[in-house]
Structure 1
Amino acid sequence: MQIPSAILTLVIGMVLALGGLWIGQNINLLPIDASANAPIYDELFKVLFTIGSILFIGIVGLLVFSLIRFRRRNGQIGDGVAIEGNLPLEIFWTAVPAVVVLFVGLYSYDIYDRMGGMVPLAHDHMGEAHEQQIWGGISSGSIESAAATNVLPVEVTAMQFAFLFHYPEGDITSGELHVPADRPITLRMEAKDVIHAFWVPEFRLKQDVIPGQPTQLSFTPTRTGRYPIVCAELCGPYHGGMRSTVVVESPEDWDSWYRDNAKAAPEDETLTIANA
């Protein structure tokens, strides 16, 4: 008994869909996640990996089937019979990719928005106010506004071929980025020469650092450890060696590192006058 082609196609489609879902949910090709927004990005990766697996297995399977089923027979000369005018097939291979591309585009936009990518575009005044609240208070000598939001501000300078990290609150300059776990971090980044990029794969973050145009990047580390910082923008002959490390520590360990490296604050003016 010959199985109808429609039923066979439906069964193969279900097997492909279930196989792609299993691959997308159970095979993880990403590094360990160490920031609050990493799981959001990983959601998108799993969806794209699932769709890609279905397409890859389906296309390769169809090619292998075609190579065997329609191979040249002994004594056969020339190409096979030309088949034209299959309107349902043309609609199918136009509609399915269109739906897939539309879904991926909308879902990617939603992930990008959830990660905060659209905030500077849609709410410039809010972004400026937030930046002024964090950095304005520090530059004027008062850190209460930044402390109230529990945001740790760090100034990042990128140059050929190194990253420098400056903590305005303690006037600390370091070649490594030390941050406490589970605390929001805001990086104000600027390049001194050419375009660089700040990339931490475990945080799922990558931001260009542009000369003369400070950029801001916010994240919350969630897992203690040492993670590589990589320049992901070709910046010169030693671009491959432009690396640093972000050290995520427990709040207690970070407080200890901060106290050991922070410069002593000037004495209170009133106390100085009283002692004079």
Structure 2
Amino acid sequence: MKPRNIVFIVAYAIALTGISLWMGQLSYSWFPPQASAESLLIDKLFAFLVTLGTFIFLGITGVMIYSVVFQRATKYDFSDGPHIEGNVTLEVVWTAIPILLVFWLAGYSYYIYDQMAIRGPMEMMHLSMGHGDTTTAVEEQPTEEIEVISKQWAWVFRYPKSNVTSTELHLPANHRIKLALTSEDVLHGLYIPAFRVKQDIVPNETIDFEFTPIKEGTYRLRDSQFSGTYFATMQTNVVVESPEDYQTWLAEAKKRKPSPAYNQAAAEYSEHTQRTFKTGWPTVIPADPPVVNYSKNESPLSPL
């Protein structure tokens, strides 16, 4: 191989590596804020996949472009190319590399999900905040247990220790959260984009689900499953606050007398039934608005 070609290949590999690493770092900006310990791990895995995918894509594309531009036949050359027999070494290489990549990705993905405690409770985590060099530790804290009831089309959250119910999920920051998920009717899905967590909720089953919020703020919880006519209205706020503010909120909510909460699905259905013009399309009657201690009086479709 000519020295010029070697220099070109090395320069291209270096440029390709730099671009791939840059794309991996850029991918962190494609998501909502990292509001849970799990989001740090998921974003790290995604950035790794973006880096690897960029390297492979640009590497293959670059070779194809180089071949088309510099290795094409001359004008009016309709002769056949040279007859080349199979190359065992080349075939072994291009078969082994994808297999090793698949095992590498599978092992790394398993490691990430194991760190997320998908297979069991996680008492303490030492994680990198974002993708910088600053580290933080989520100290071991008592697990906060909350019951989650999903139905067409509303979320109800019950805090057993305080006997408080709410249509807005409140969580203490840096505490391990354990949700007991149930459905009163059909399949629902608990999905909090800022936490990078999603869990299907199966009727007649109680599913335990854990995560650790680490950033105070207000985020969005959505139903990730198509659960019927008004499923798009099945959204609510997730409020992550300091442990002190969380306890204050529980104490204030406990003083309130339970009352029917505002429910967007019920409101839309009521408006639909009062119309003079009837579409004739069948629909499911929403469940009665939940009766809770605390309800933020807002439409679930309002922007954050």
Normalised-by-shorter TM-score class: 0.7 to 0.9
Aligned partners of 2:197 and 2:84: how far apart in 1? 49
Query: Is 1:257 equivalent to 2:249 in the alignment?
Result: yes
Greater CA deviation, 26-35 or 152-161? 26-35
**TM-score, structure 2 length as denominator?**
0.70
- Look up the match of 1:152: 144
SS, match of residue 194 in structure 1: coil
| 1:185 CA displacement | 1.5
Aligned partners of 2:176 and 2:199: how far apart in 1? 17
Kindly provide the amino acid, as one letter, of the partner of residue 33 in structure 1.
Answer: Q
Residues 253, 11 of structure 1: CA spacing in aligned structure 2 closer, same or farther, 3 A cutoff? same
Query: Is 1:16 equivalent to 2:16 in the alignment?
Result: yes
Residues 7, 149 of structure 1: CA spacing in aligned structure 2 closer, same or farther, 3 A cutoff? closer
| 1:109 CA displacement | 0.8
Q: Which runs of 4+ in 1 moved over 6 A?
A: none
- Look up the match of 1:31: 32
CA RMSD of aligned residues (A): 2.7
Kindly provide the amino acid, as one letter, of the partner of residue 196 in structure 1.
Answer: H
Aligned partners of 2:44 and 2:169: how far apart in 1? 27
Q: How many residue pairs are counted as aligned between the two chains?
A: 238
Mapping of 1:85-124 within 5 angstroms?
85-119=86-120
Which deviations, in whole Å up to 9, do the C-alpha atoms of 1:72-124 show, x marking residues without a partner?
643244875564412232122111111111100011111111111122xxxxx
Residues 80, 254 of structure 1: CA spacing in aligned structure 2 closer, same or farther, 3 A cutoff? same
Which deviations, in whole Å up to 9, do the C-alpha atoms of 1:122-153 show, x marking residues without a partner?
xxxxxxx99xxxxxxxxxxxxxxxxx962221
SS, match of residue 37 in structure 2: coil
Mapping of 1:25-104 within 5 angstroms?
25-28=25-28, 29-71=30-72, 73-77=74-78, 80=81, 83-104=84-105
Kindly provide the amino acid, as one letter, of the partner of residue 223 in structure 1.
Answer: K
Aligned partners of 2:10 and 2:97: how far apart in 1? 15
- Look up the match of 1:204: 196
- Structure 1, gaps ≥5 residues long: 120-128, 131-147, 265-276
Query: Is 1:237 equivalent to 2:229 in the alignment?
Result: yes
- Structure 2, gaps ≥5 residues long: 123-139, 257-304
The percentage of counterpart residues that share the same residue type is 36
Kindly provide the amino acid, as one letter, of the partner of residue 17 in structure 1.
Answer: T
Aligned partners of 1:166 and 1:79: how far apart in 2? 75
Alignment equivalent of 2:220, drawn from 228, 233, 236: 228
Which deviations, in whole Å up to 9, do the C-alpha atoms of 1:188-216 show, x marking residues without a partner?
00111111111111111111111111111
